[in-house]
Structure 1
């Protein structure tokens, strides 16, 4: 169980590094004035998205593994369901990043740097909330 928890935390860190950096690439993409720079940033974002997606899958699989060790506890804990709601949002956020990356690669993304700067802050809020839920177990 402890090795599963350790791996879960490691892959959460890896996944979040991508969730933090990917929108920053899109901020720079949206603000770039040269086509070559935009193309390079779009390709960097595409490669990063492909790199961090397996980390998301591993986080989910390890989370399911930990759940299976004591389902009676987890499935009756309010904090767990709040954390799962946050996880569902982050998976949706990850896939939305993929849509934005695909649009950038195809040259059809029209979001502003201001939009991506706001979009970039969203996972920070969920990270704080989910860590607090997992550690403090408030309900």
Structure 2
């Protein structure tokens, strides 16, 4: 069980690295005027999303459910309100992940995207979710 939890936490950290950094790349990408800079950001965004973000998201979800179902823990988790709130928060992060992918594709195609101010605000959303999720898991409240 501890190995499963350890790898789950590692996957979460890697996924959050992408969730925090991708919108920051969008800020700089939106502010860039030169073509060489835009091409560089396209490569960075694609590699971050596909090489780190998506595999980490998948690992986070699989290892998270692995820990929930390991050793009969599902009976406990399925009755805990905090657990279902955490699942909703994870679902919101999955949606956020795919929204990042949507913006990445729009940047790659040279389409109109929101400005850097939007992405500065957008960048803060996973911070709020992270704080809430950690508090839920540590305090296990509401029961």
Measured against the shorter chain, the TM-score band is: over 0.9
**2:109 is equivalent to residue 106 of structure 1:** yes
- Residue 30 of structure 2 contacts residue 115 of structure 2 at CA under 8 Å; is this kept in 1? yes
Kindly state the Cα deviation for residue 39 of structure 1 after the two structures are TM-superposed.
1.7
Instruction: Give 5+ residue unaligned stretches, structure 1.
Output: none
Kindly state the Cα deviation for residue 42 of structure 1 after the two structures are TM-superposed.
1.6
Cα distance in 1 between the residues matched to 2:136 and 2:108: 37
Query: Could you give the per-residue CA deviations for residues 85-127 of structure 1, whole angstroms, max 9, x where no partner exists?
Result: 1000000000000000011111114210000000101000000
Equivalent residues in 2 for 1:9-48, closer than 5 Å: 9-48=9-48
Cα distance in 2 between the residues matched to 1:11 and 1:109: 32
Runs of 4 or more above 6 Å deviation: none
Cα distance in 1 between the residues matched to 2:6 and 2:23: 27
TM-score computed with the length of structure 2 as normaliser: 0.95
Count of residues in Structure 1 that have an aligned counterpart in Structure 2: 139
Q: Tell me the secondary structure at the aligned position of residue 86 of structure 1.
A: helix
Query: Could you give the per-residue CA deviations for residues 20-70 of structure 1, whole angstroms, max 9, x where no partner exists?
Result: 001111000000111221121122101110012100000000011111121
- Residue 26 of structure 1 contacts residue 42 of structure 1 at CA under 8 Å; is this kept in 2? no
- Residue 103 of structure 2 contacts residue 113 of structure 2 at CA under 8 Å; is this kept in 1? no
TM-score computed with the length of structure 1 as normaliser: 0.97
Cα distance in 1 between the residues matched to 2:107 and 2:101: 10
RMSD across aligned positions (CA): 0.8
